[in-house]
Amino acid sequence: AVALDAVLFGSGTLVGVGAAVVVPYLLIVRHRVEPGRVTPVLLLPLVAPMVSAALGPLLVPYLPPGQARQTLLFGCLALFGLSLLATLLMLPLVVARLVTAGPPPLAVTPSLFLVLGPLGQSTTAAGNLADAAPTALPASSPYGPALAVLYGVPVMGFALLWLALAGALAVRARRRGMGFSMAWWAFTFPVGTCVTGAEGLARHTGLVAFMVLAVALYALLLAAWGTAAVRTVRGLVSGELLAGPRRAPVVPRSATARTR
């Protein structure tokens, strides 16, 4: 089982790093994204290395002590930095688009929750890296839970701010006629990363407040997942999700003519 997990982790890491490099490269050389068309979807390929950084530390205790454990630990830390710094480059573009161009189109509004992905996942990764550090590094090493707390608490604070903002914009879009689409699944995974991040902070700080936060976010996750699942099944049964795009209505030509 451990060998299978290692193979899956390695292949997933290669795919994630490849996506994090290839997608921005294609955006630079083949596409021209106007400032008003920037969406949080651009963050999707940057989250994959952070997922590997959060899962890799779980394999550290199963490797031989010494170089093997340290290589995996610091490799995950490098993936952490790759994803985090790339996200810090893209996130200001998303915020600038919202401030200067206003709310996104109704159908794209759920994508605002994607910003929570790198925030919550990086908090989870920091906690897992701190847990794995004592098994791979000397006892005198400065790496430990304190670093995870110093990073995770401020980031979780910003994640809660963004959750409130994205939630308010989603309610606004719903009131203005936002219908169901597969984009609603963006309400699930990003919130799940905040659940694991809050649980890690509760484990490292011992604060009941973080445990309560984790439970509240988990309840929100279940509600979002259940809503998206039910609406997806309903759309598949009715055929609404499988229907092709509707043709735009043909506008008749004007009957007026120029007179002299």
Is 260 contained in some domain? no
Q: Are 40 and 104 in contact (CB under 8 A)?
A: no
For residue 232, the model assigns a pLDDT of 95
For residue 152, the model assigns a pLDDT of 95
Residue 43: is its pLDDT beyond 80? yes
For residue 185, the model assigns a pLDDT of 95
For residue 249, the model assigns a pLDDT of 56
For residue 115, the model assigns a pLDDT of 96
What's the token pair of residue 93?
């573009």
What's the token pair of residue 182?
């597969």
Query: Please, which contacts does 85-92 make with residues 24 or more away whose CB atoms are closer than 8 Å?
Result: 86/20, 86/24, 86/46, 87/43, 87/46, 87/47, 87/50, 87/118, 87/122, 90/42, 90/43, 90/46, 91/43, 91/115
* Residue span of the structural domain in which 126 resides: 2-238
Percentage above 90 pLDDT, the chain: 64
Residue type for position 81: G
Residue 2: is its pLDDT beyond 60? no
Percentage above 70 pLDDT, the chain: 86
Is 148 contained in some domain? yes
For residue 32, the model assigns a pLDDT of 78
**Given pLDDT bands bounded at 50, 70 and 90, which one contains residue 244?**
low
> Which span out of 18-22, 60-64, 102-106, 166-170 was modeled with the highest average pLDDT?
166-170
Return d(Cα 195, Cα 215) in angstroms, integer.
8
**Given pLDDT bands bounded at 50, 70 and 90, which one contains residue 26?**
confident
Is 251 contained in some domain? no
DSSP sequence for the chain: -HHHHHHHHHHHHHHHHHHHHHHHHHHHHT----GGG--GGGGHHHHHHHHHHHHGGGGGGGSPTTHHHHHHHHHHHHHHHHHHHHHHHHHHHHHHHHHHH-SPPGGGGGGGGGGHHHHHHHHHHHHHHHHHHHHHS-TT-S-SHHHHHHHHHHHHHHHHHHHHHHHHHHHHHHHTTPPP-GGGGGGTHHHHHHHHHHHHHHHHH--HHHHHHHHHHHHHHHHHHHHHHHHHHHHHHHTTTTSPPPPPPPPPPP------
Is 258 contained in some domain? no
Is 82 contained in some domain? yes
Is 12 contained in some domain? yes
- The closest of 249, 192, 258, 257 to 224, measured between CA atoms, is 192
Is 246 contained in some domain? no
- Taking the CA of residue 11 as centre, how many other CA atoms within 13 Å lie in the half-sphere pointing to its CB? 5
Is 88 contained in some domain? yes
Domain tally, the chain: 1
**Given pLDDT bands bounded at 50, 70 and 90, which one contains residue 85?**
very high
What are the C-alpha distances in Å from 97 to residues 37, 93, 104, 197? 8, 6, 9, 27
